[in-house]
């Protein structure tokens, strides 16, 4: 099993490009099931979750043609079965996103209950109840969601409590081919939801309000293929920015969208980082020896993203001063804390809050990744630690970061993948 070996205490400098956003690519690939003609998707990140989604579509008989530059042509007109099998679904929670498109287009779906990172409750009941409100008959049997509808799904009013990104995306996709109007209240406002909506609009869908908490979808009879480029990954960009704030140095990230990172940029500036940006790049410079501690609370967009929480726990562990990091989205997302403690971090958990006393330095140690973003926080800790850090179970990080060791090497990090 692969591991990452990091020798720390090296400042980062140089330029890299942001990869496409996994959390945008996955629902857009699922949306290909709605189309009568091929959908071409560009700027796909080369990640395990993207590969799994393409394999899932292929297992249904969908024709998938992937080019060397990670542009994919997906033709769902060749579909042979409507089953999302457990062998593929078990590693990726986003596989639930095929439920809405299959029901809307083919009036039937069998989807295994999904897996993914063990970071707390991410219930599928929001998806199921929404589909039922739209007229679907759904049963859960033997670990599978078995759903069907007579005729087209029906437009209706759906209020999410709590707000859910994937449930919002699933309903948007289902509603595009439903009969009548669907109104989604307390909808997720994440940029990835906007990206999906823009792709669907290019396919002929009628969607208003994406990016707000009320989205209105007027169903149409059919959708056609289009060409669409996936937005840059704001969490990947935020992770590299945080790395520079921890190690020091000066890095420019191209093909980035600063407008989607305002909460993260604000926190990094409060840590002492100097940040410049344009429409499609971000430049960070960290001249201070150590960042200044900054407290934060996660929340749905546009609040501070839960997917950046672990990285800031790592940053605060070596910052000047004390801080608190409160997690409000997932109740089991502090598994990285005990691993950072192995490197000397002084962190105490009190309910859903990490209380952090910043120390002058971490020390390299063997640590183990427990989920995607936790593994990123350990990479950041290794970059700033004295000595060598070995991170085990890095298959987690390969689910969400494209060629992380190669990009960090370009910036001067001493990092390599070992067996």
Which of 117, 173, 205, 253 is labelled catalytic? 117
Helix extents (H) in 135-288? 165-176, 191-202, 234-247, 262-270
117 catalytic, yes or no?
yes
Spatial neighbors of 345 by CB under 8 A, at least 6 apart, are 317, 337, 356, 359, 362, 381
Tokens of 370: 């427990």
Burial bucket for residue 2 (CB in 10 Å: 0-12, 13-18, 19+):
middle
Distance between CA atoms of residues 200 and 173, nearest Å: 8
Cβ proximity of 185 and 157 under 8 Å: yes
Assess contact for 147 and 137: CB atoms under 8 A.
yes
Strand partners, 183: 157, 216
Structure tokens at 88: 């593929």
Do the bridges between strand 353-357 and strand 346-350 make them parallel or antiparallel, or are there none, so unpaired?
antiparallel
Do residues 322 and 359 make contact, with C-beta atoms less than 8 angstroms apart? no
What is the Cα–Cα distance from 163 to 370, expressed in whole angstroms?
Answer: 25
Known catalytic residues are 117
């Amino acid at each position: 099993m692969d591991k990452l070996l990091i020798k720390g205490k090296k400042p980062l400098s140089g330029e890299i490009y942001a990869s496409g956003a996994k959390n945008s690519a996955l629902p857009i690939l699922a949306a290909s099931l709605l189309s009568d003609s091929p959908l071409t998707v560009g700027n796909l990140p080369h990640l395990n979750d993207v590969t799994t989604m393409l394999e899932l579509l292929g297992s249904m008989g969908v024709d998938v043609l992937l080019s060397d530059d990670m542009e994919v042509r997906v033709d769902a007109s060749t579909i042979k079965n409507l089953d999302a099998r457990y062998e593929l679904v078990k590693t990726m929670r986003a596989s639930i996103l095929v439920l809405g498109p299959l029901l809307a287009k083919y009036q039937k779906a069998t989807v295994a209950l999904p897996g993914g990172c063990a970071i707390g409750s991410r219930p599928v009941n929001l998806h199921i109840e929404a589909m039922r409100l739209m007229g679907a008959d759904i049963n859960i049997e033997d670990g599978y969601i078995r759903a069907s509808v007579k005729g087209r799904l029906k437009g209706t009013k759906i209020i999410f409590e709590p707000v859910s990104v994937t449930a919002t995306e699933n309903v948007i996709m289902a509603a595009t081919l439903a009969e009548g109007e669907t109104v989604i209240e307390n909808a997720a406002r994440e940029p990835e939801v906007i990206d999906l909506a823009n792709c669907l609009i290019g396919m002929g869908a009628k969607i208003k309000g994406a990016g707000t908490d009320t989205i209105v979808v007027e169903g149409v009879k059919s959708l056609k293929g289009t060409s669409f480029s996936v937005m840059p990954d704001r969490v990947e960009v935020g992770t590299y920015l945080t790395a520079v704030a921890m190690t020091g140095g000066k890095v420019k990230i191209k093909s980035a969208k600063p407008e989607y990172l305002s909460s993260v940029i604000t926190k990094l500036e409060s840590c002492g980082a100097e940040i410049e940006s344009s429409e499609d790049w971000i430049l960070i410079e960290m001249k201070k020896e150590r960042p200044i501690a900054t407290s934060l609370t996660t929340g749905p967009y546009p609040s501070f993203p839960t997917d950046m929480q672990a990285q800031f726990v790592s940053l605060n562990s070596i910052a000047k001063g004390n801080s608190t990091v409160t997690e409000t989205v997932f109740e089991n997302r502090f598994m990285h804390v005990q691993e950072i403690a192995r490197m000397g971090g002084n962190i105490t958990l009190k309910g859903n809050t990490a209380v952090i006393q910043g120390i002058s330095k971490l020390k390299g140690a063997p640590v183990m990744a427990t989920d995607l973003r936790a593994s990123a926080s350990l990479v950041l800790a290794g970059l700033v630690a004295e000595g060598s850090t070995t991170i085990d179970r890095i298959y987690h990080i390969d689910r969400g970061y494209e060629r992380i060791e190669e990009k960090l090497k370009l910036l001067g990090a001493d990092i390599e993948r070992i067996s």
